[in-house]
Chains A and B, each alone.
Chain A
Amino acid sequence: MNRYAGDTLSWAVSDGVVELELHRAPANEIGSAMLADLERFAEALPALERDAAALILHSRLDAGFSAGADLRELYHRMIDLGPAERQAQLRTFLERIHAVMNAIDATSLTTIAATRGVVFGGGFELALVCDLIIADKMTRFCFPELRLGLIPGFGGIPRLKRDLGNAVVRDLLLTGRSVNASRAHAIGLVSQLTAEGRSLDAARATARQILKFDRGTSAAAKEFVKPVPRAELAREIELFCELFSRPAVEAGLKRFVESEDAMPYLP
């Protein structure tokens, strides 16, 4: 399927480049609807790999690339369930999103996240599966999960460890602070920094360069730099489920969901 237009995202192939555009208002929160669309994309990837050499992920929304997991939907879906059913549904959701992340991470396409605005939590994890992150200078990256008593659950810690030095990983994870694109560029997370609103242009220019290379050679190079420890990904799901069962997490989510604070994206 070379073209798809869903409620939360769309993709199309043009001149050897797949462009996957996120457009689920207000800020591309990843809930059940976006997960279903992402699964459609993962299913389509083998066919897309035959017709393209590069993939660009970007957002149509001014708010940014993605604010991460849809915590409001998660809370409302879980609140009325008993502990066992809650754990089962959470685990299923995590296993499904991990499968999508792993598929994009492992694709033979050279992948680029073109970012702006918020790249938070699960949105950050989605960007981390890409080979390159090209950020405009208004981008902010953040793993806010510890503020809720959780850890990143979409494969974020193993991939952050793969890509960055341990001191930087500790800073981002253990403080939960957001960092701007300049800082992210300085620490090696962002490969190219652009002017405001120009990250997609830069990603397209980079994709045109990628198209000049032999596909098999690019794929061979990726084999050396993309492996991520599958045991750590599995352990992350286990830990996330354990932490989620604690009353403090439910209370934190409730506060977040019901908050009328002016900073709801910062739990």
Chain B
Amino acid sequence: MPSKTEAETLSEVLDLAAAQFQVPRADLSGGDDFFAKLGIDSLKALEMLTRLENHFGVELPDYEMQGVSDFGTLADRIHARL
């Protein structure tokens, strides 16, 4: 049983993305396409993946992340491994 709720996981994902890309936290929500919203490329996306792995203490195989572009789905994938 994860120690946090899905909503808490999503909130932490958004906190980390806001800090990494220096955007106002209030501007981000679960439905946002992070590539479009943050204007990031693949290397920045990998960096975000690594930060998320380090923060949550999980491994996120990148092949599971292909096709994932919104914060909500990303948070779901993380939550499934907590």
Q: Which residues of A contact B (CB under 8 A)?
A: 27, 63-64, 117-118, 137-140, 142, 175-180, 182-183, 261-266
Expressed in whole angstroms, the minimum distance between the Cβ of B15 and any Cβ of chain A is 17
- Chain B residues in 8 Å Cβ range of A262: 35, 40-42, 45, 69
B35 touches A180 (CB 8 A): no
- Chain B residues in 8 Å Cβ range of A140: 46, 49-50
Please give me the 3 A-B residue pairs with the lowest Cβ-Cβ distance, nearest first: A263-B42, A177-B61, A262-B35
Expressed in whole angstroms, the minimum distance between the Cβ of B53 and any Cβ of chain A is 5
Residue from B45, B50, B62 within 8 A of A138 (CB atoms): B50
- Chain B residues in 8 Å Cβ range of A139: 50
A264 touches B46 (CB 8 A): no
Interface size of B by CB at 8 A reads 19
Residue from B35, B41, B54 within 8 A of A137 (CB atoms): B54
B43 touches A265 (CB 8 A): yes
* Complex Cα spacing A175 to B59, Å: 14
- Chain A residues in 8 Å Cβ range of B46: 118, 140, 178, 265
- Chain B residues in 8 Å Cβ range of A176: 63
Would A180 and B43 be within 8 Å (CB), given that A175-B63, A262-B69, A266-B66 are in contact?
A: no
Residue pairs across A and B with Cβ atoms less than 8 A apart, 13 shown, are A118-B43, A140-B49, A140-B50, A175-B63, A177-B61, A177-B62, A178-B62, A180-B50, A182-B54, A183-B59, A262-B42, A262-B69, A266-B63
- Chain B residues in 8 Å Cβ range of A263: 42, 45, 62, 66
* Complex Cα spacing A64 to B43, Å: 9
Q: Which residues of B contact A (CB under 8 A)?
A: 35, 40-43, 45-47, 49-51, 53-54, 59, 61-63, 66, 69
Expressed in whole angstroms, the minimum distance between the Cβ of B65 and any Cβ of chain A is 8
- Chain B residues in 8 Å Cβ range of A117: 43, 47
Residue from B41, B45, B54, B61 within 8 A of A175 (CB atoms): B61
Q: Name the residue of chain B whose CB is nearest to the CB of A263.
A: B42
Residue from A138, A177, A180, A265 within 8 A of B42 (CB atoms): A265
**Max chain B CB contacts within 10 Å: which of A63, A178, A182, A183?**
A178
Q: Name the residue of chain B whose CB is nearest to the CB of A266.
A: B62
* Complex Cα spacing A178 to B43, Å: 13
Q: Name the residue of chain B whose CB is nearest to the CB of A259.
A: B42
- Chain B residues in 8 Å Cβ range of A182: 53-54
- Chain A residues in 8 Å Cβ range of B53: 180, 182
Expressed in whole angstroms, the minimum distance between the Cβ of B23 and any Cβ of chain A is 18
